[in-house]
Amino acid sequence: MGGLLEGKTALITGAATGIGRAAALLFAREGACVLASDVDRAQGESTVAEIRAAGHEAEFAAADVADEAAVAAMVDRCIARFGRIDCAVNNAGIAGPTAALHEVSFADWNRTIATNLGGVFLCMKHEIAAMRTKGGGAIVNTSSGAGVVAAPGMAPYCASKHGILGLTKTAAVENAPFGIRINAICPGATDTPMMQATLAIDPGVRKMILKSLPGGRMGEAAEIAEAALWLCSDRASFVSGAALVVDGGAIAR
């Protein structure tokens, strides 16, 4: 029996670690040829090596999603290698500064917005252009629980993740006539290297986060990847413009 993405090609950014890596591995297991991208070449190539070792097809492309030339080259690399892009997970992002808004430098603000929000814009811009020539596709953008509710002390991150939802909805409506579905996932606290780095800044943060989770635990990257997989699959054929919260009930409290 074929997987949910059998015969399809998937482009996944931020694939070196965390949710992006979990998505790349899962999408490959479900039958997709995977173009994995990240700024971290060593870890990104490790993701690709693991996919290939399992007998699946994958290619790595180093790219900074805040650089349009790099994004365009990444998309071109995917098409040159696999012939098309059927689905994409725009997952690359950074945590940004942890400080009260009035203490955040404009340089840190710009860097966070350029990577998290600008990166999703640039990826969609080039992915959509490619998908329109091939008759459709599905895109999932990684937002956050902080794209739905406030994240005190993380204003640039929170603003960027809220912005992703606006981009997602607009792009979904614009591209529905072309057979392109565009959705977002909003992960809650997830046990990833980026989350561990954030927790290390202040020992009290872990206690605060765990206290906010009804189930008493953080999510696993593989659990978030499953949501992205479903949205990219034909089983979500009438789902577009949605923001799927995957957080164990945290923001429902």
> In the prediction, which pLDDT does 17 show?
95
Return the beta strands (E) in the chain as ranges: 9-13, 33-38, 58-62, 87-90, 137-142, 180-187, 190-191, 219-220, 243-246
Distance CA 21, CA 47 (A): 6
pLDDT 10s digits, 38-91:
999 999 999 999 999 999 999 999 999 999 999 999 999 999 999 999 999 999
C-alpha dist (Å) from residue 18 to 92, 108, 192: 10, 23, 5
pLDDT 10s digits, 159-197:
999 999 999 999 999 999 999 999 999 998 888 888 787
Q: Would you please indicate which residues are annotated as catalytic (active-site) residues?
A: 157
Q: Are 154 and 96 in contact (CB under 8 A)?
A: yes
Query: What value does the mean pLDDT take over residues 194-214?
Result: 74
What superfamily in CATH does domain 9-188+218-248 come from? NAD(P)-binding Rossmann-like Domain (3.40.50.720)
